[in-house]
Amino acid sequence: MLLRRVSILSVLLLSLGGVMALANPNSKGVIPSIVPTFEGQPPQKQSRLRLMEELNLTSEQMQQLHSIQQQYRSQINNQRQELALAQEKLAELMASTATVDQIRTQHEQVQEFSQQLGELSFESMLAMRDVFTPTQRHRFAQLMEQRQDEVSNHTQQQKRLDR
């Protein structure tokens, strides 16, 4: 359960980083108006914009989050690619006449890449967390709990529909 929460928090913090590019403050240090309505926006972007709005981030915080996101982006993307390739190879081995030992070795490789990706995500989440005020951290935790409940409810509904 803790791993699931950490994973959800990591993904959302990383996606929040993408929003920082939208918040390029003007020379007076004033935060530009960011899409007053969410209509017409892709769902993921809507979610990020709402999150940013809910947390009341300052322009300085947005710049800091953007910097952190930039710092981790290439590492995380590289690790995702490594993981995807390892997963593809595992699937190929499963469908082939590979030995059990070969499959186990590849599975261990997939687990290792997955663990490394999780660690990178967690480190970036911790760095982003330091940017938030205590009030923002509390609000962020509430929002993540709500989102987790929504995902859980959606999953349960899907399971009922699939029966």
31-85 pLDDT per residue, tens: 333 333 445 556 666 777 777 788 999 999 999 999 999 999 999 999 999 999 9
Residue 44: domain span = 13-132
Asked if residue 163 belongs to a domain, the reply is no
For 110, the enclosing helix (H) or strand (E) is: helix 100-129
Asked if residue 18 belongs to a domain, the reply is yes
Residues near 116 by beta carbon (within 8 Å), at least 6 away in sequence: 79
Asked if residue 141 belongs to a domain, the reply is no
pLDDT of 151 strictly over 90: no
pLDDT of 25 strictly over 70: no
Asked if residue 38 belongs to a domain, the reply is yes
Tokens in use for 31?
């935060």
93-137 pLDDT per residue, tens: 999 999 999 999 999 999 999 999 999 999 998 999 999 999 999
Asked if residue 92 belongs to a domain, the reply is yes
